[in-house]
Structure 1
Amino acid sequence: MSLNIFLDNSNIWLVGRKVCSSNEPGHESAFRIHFAKLFDFVRNNRAVSFAYVGGSVPPNNDDLWLRLNAQGAIVEKQERAVSGGEVAVDEAIQLQMANRIIDVQPPETMVLLTGDGSGYTDGKGFIKQLERALKFGWKIEVISWDAGCNRHLKEFAQANGCYRPLEPAYANITFVNNVRWAK
């Protein structure tokens, strides 16, 4: 069963930076994710039929988006609000998830990389999309940093599919620029 990967880049990077603060204090500003190795961890020797990355446009970071695209992912960037906050990144990812649920037959495996569980009590958000995937016969996986994963999202994944924490792979999927390379 092929994978459909959905990466909430901002969530994974921001929480990863907090994990860096615990593991390698003082290097948070140089913390980076090695996306090829992250995708290898996610794939786990399985076929990928679709990969989507949602994020916001950080200043001077075009290389990041090109690298993600080189991994075979569709990359969609949203402009940041004047206040600096993200605008519609989660919703863009959720729309892509819904489109795959509806358009792909037979159902495959949906892999979501985020820790964001907001919106569920209002009938929206990532958990709601995962519920829809299950209803249509998809298998689900959530991959997240334990340090920042919404407890409802984690519990939902554990009860209905698979939850994989990123912390055991920290040294393999991250690096500290000019200090430590990913293993």
Structure 2
Amino acid sequence: MAGPVDPAELVYIFIDYSNVTHEGSRELNIANDHFNVDLNRLVLTVCNGRKSGGVFIAGSTPQTAPTPAKDELAWRRAEHHGFNVKTFPRNASNKEKKVDSRLTCDIMLTIRKNPGILVLVAGDSDYSVPLEEARKENWEIEIWFWNKGKSKHFSNFPYTSLNFHYKSFVYITGPKNRYTFEISSDIIKNWKWKNEPIMECYCALNLLCQFQWVNKTTAHLYFDNETHLKQARGWLFKKYPMLLKEQGRVGKSVKVLQDKKITEDIVDLPQQNTDDPLDDQYVFVDLTESIILK
């Protein structure tokens, strides 16, 4: 059993959700309606194997319109992971209010503890003041954000670009693709892990994750070409063979690729880290699959 973690090695993460998603969609040139951030995978990316001391997330909601379902789902899933999530309504001009102040308060309260590692996932210059205070208290500071959205006021802090890591936590929903891999059934018992096996597959193949839950038990995975589709199917077969079970159905617009030798479909797959902290989190049950080539 591992011993207690040195407080100086604990990572405290502060995420400005609106800042991350808005700047990310612009940076990657993806429509905001289709741009999604899996907050748990973002936290795992930032931790990079280190122990988290706490995660604080702040975001905003429209004042008059309903909160987008994708944001509501992201926040609820984050809460189920034990993260601290606070949201605030925007003003009449659709401008954010209180988000920066909330995260600033969280930072100031946190740095009263024994010094550790403070990670800010935001690019707004308003956070430079609490970061300077944290530095005075001997905290180690890290900035993780998109290249174009980072304030010049952060130039004195260690910086890691999300541009080099986004495939581990960003996913696209909505746009359909000719090459579609359908997974159908109760993939996982605990809904908060619902995206994990899908995103892990795309990440292992170094592909930007594109999928859509068409209902509570069926997801369509999208690929740019047949080679990537076959690689994903082969990877899932090797990593989680219990996921795949042929349906044996063929329609006019659906072609089920027959199993010959799955390993032949795998072309130069990246090696998956066997120490992935997500590996033991999955609870898979009966799953069926088909590959649709329209």
- Tell me if structure 2 keeps the 8 A contact 1:127–1:156: no
Q: Which residues of structure 1 form unaligned runs of 5+? A: 118-124
Unaligned runs of 5+ in 2: 1-8, 178-197, 204-294
Picking from 88, 92, 108, the partner of 1:78 is 88
Other-structure match for 1:97: 107
Query: Which letter maps to 1:113?
Result: V
Aligned counterparts of 1:127 and 1:151: Cα–Cα separation in 2: 10
* Runs (4+) off by over 3 Å: 178-182
Q: Check conservation: 2:18, 2:59, Cα contact below 8 A.
A: yes
Whichever structure has more helix as a proportion of its residues is: 1
Contact 2:119-2:142 at 8 Å conserved across structures = yes
Query: Secondary structure at the residue paired with 1:143?
Result: strand
Match of 2:43 in 1: 39
2:148 aligns to what SS in structure 1?
helix
Asked if the contact 1:146/1:167 (under 8 Å) is kept, the reply is yes
Q: Which residue number in structure 1 is paired with residue 24 of structure 2?
A: 16
Aligned to 2:122: 114
Within 5 Å, which residues of 2 pair with 1:118-157? 125-153=126-154, 155-157=155-157
Percent of counterpart pairs with the same letter? 25
Q: Which amino acid aligns with 2:128?
A: I
SS of match in other structure, 1:147: coil
The amino acid that maps onto 2:137 is F
2:147 and 2:81 mapped to 1: Cα distance? Answer: 25
Normalised to the residue count of structure 2, the TM-score between the two structures is 0.53
Write out per-residue CA displacement over residues 97-156 of structure 1, whole angstroms, 9 at most, x where no aligned residue.
001112x1x211111000111xxxxxxx31111111111111111100012111221x12
Residues 87 and 146 of structure 1, relative CA distance in 2, 3 Å threshold: same
- Tell me, yes or no, if the aligned pair for 2:22 and 2:32 is still in contact at 8 Å: no
Give the aligned partner of residue 170 of structure 1: 166
**Deviation string for 1:5-61 (max 9, x for gaps)?**
10011111100010221xx5xx44311112222111111000011110011125143
> What is the alpha-carbon root mean square deviation over aligned residues?
1.7
Asked whether the equivalents of residues 32 and 177 of structure 1 are also in contact (C-alpha less than 8 Å), the reply is yes
Q: For residue 77 of structure 1, what is the amino acid of its counterpart? A: T
Name the counterpart of 1:120: none
1:146 maps to amino acid: N
SS in 2 for 1:87: coil
TM-score when normalising by structure 1: 0.84
CA distance in 1, matches of 2:135, 2:159: 15
Q: Which amino acid aligns with 2:173?
A: N
Instruction: Identify the range of structure 1 (62-71 vs 93-102) with the bigger mean alpha-carbon deviation.
Output: 62-71
Which residue number in structure 1 is paired with residue 54 of structure 2? 50
Structure having the higher Rg: 2
- Distance of 2:74 and 2:45 partners within structure 1: 18
Considering Cα pairs closer than 8 Å and 6+ residues apart, tell me whether 1 or 2 has the greater RCO.
1
